[in-house]
Amino acid sequence: MRGEMRDMRAGWFALLAVFLCATMTVEAMHEIPKESAKALGVTRGRPFSHGIVFVEGKYIAPPYTVERWGTGIRINSIPVTGQIVPWNDFLKTQGGVKVTKTEVPAVAKKQTYEMDDFSLDDLFDDDPKPKKKRKAPRKPAGPSYSTSYSLEGEFEPNDASKMLVSRINAVRTEIDRILRLGGFICFGESYSRISGDSNSALALLEKLPGLLRSSRDLAEFKNAVRAAGLVYLPEVICEEIYRNRIDYPKLQERYDKLKSEAEIQRMIEEAATPLL
């Protein structure tokens, strides 16, 4: 009896640890300068409920609002990209920009010297081989500098800065389009975003909840993902999703809702089809 209680208590502690880890707020995975949002403003689309979003493996439930916030992209106020165009590039378009160069201390490298070729046979050789000249030590490299930009006064939009903003807006539009068409996107700091169409998204929703629920460890989950045909999920994303496996009921709920909506749509289309 005591053994069963101890096992039960250990199970609850393990579940609590997973819950605390998986329910932590998704932190800003990418730094987007606040001053860029103040100067460049925000381009925000209308909310919608299509598609699937994962941020560092954490499922983000719809509705989604995709926005360009300064130099980067956010979904539901969560940064999902880094700076599409660096804020420094915008500062370079300004007439009142101040350029500061700071010398970066050089890291001292250990000097190495090549020894003369030497062999014991040379001591008894009537015709010893000529010795190679000792190479002189390399001269230390010159100083390197880091360049920073600061704006004296207010940021003034111009043709050059507007062109840079349009590049960021194009990325926002692309992300918005993929999700509105029912696709999925996985955002992460250590990899480029992974996306797929509506069929791939539906396959994810259909299979992931069961795989997360039944897998006893990460290795089993990875094997199950491959066996299920979800080969477009790299290992790093599998690891992130498994860390957030407590979200599987939300994924299951989303799939059931989409399945129900698809069934209703099918019935409507069949009812509208004239009988021959």
Tens-digit pLDDT profile for residues 121-131 = 444 455 555 55
43 phi/psi in degrees, rounded to 5: -115, 110
Residue 34 included in any domain: yes
Residue 47 included in any domain: yes
Residue 166 CA: distances (Å) to CA of 34, 35, 96, 118, 134: 19, 18, 23, 66, 59
Least confident of 66-75, 97-106, 237-246: 97-106
Note the pLDDT tens digit of each residue in 181-203: 999 999 998 888 999 999 999 99
- The structural domain count of the chain equals 1
The residue ranking higher by pLDDT, 91 or 119, is 91
Residue 30: the pLDDT is 64
Residue 208 included in any domain: yes
Residue 133 included in any domain: no
Least confident of 130-139, 217-226, 266-275: 130-139
| Average pLDDT value for residue range 38-62 | 96
183 burial level (CB within 10 Å; 0-12, 13-18, 19+): buried
Residue 123: the pLDDT is 41
Has residue 108 got a pLDDT over 60? Answer: no
Pairwise CA distance, residues 107 & 101, whole Å: 18
Kindly report the length of the chain: 276
Pairwise CA distance, residues 66 & 48, whole Å: 9
Least confident of 98-102, 232-236, 267-271: 267-271
Residue 100 included in any domain: no
Pairwise CA distance, residues 101 & 99, whole Å: 7
Residue 148: the pLDDT is 78
Residue 230 included in any domain: yes
Residue 82 included in any domain: yes
Pairwise CA distance, residues 95 & 39, whole Å: 15
Q: Residue 260: which domain range?
A: 2-91+152-272
Closest listed residue to residue 161, CA positions, set 256, 60, 92, 80: 92
Pairwise CA distance, residues 179 & 196, whole Å: 9
Residue 126 included in any domain: no
- The per-residue pLDDT of the chain, averaged, comes to 80
Residue 131: the pLDDT is 54
The residue ranking higher by pLDDT, 268 or 275, is 268
62 phi/psi in degrees, rounded to 5: -75, 170
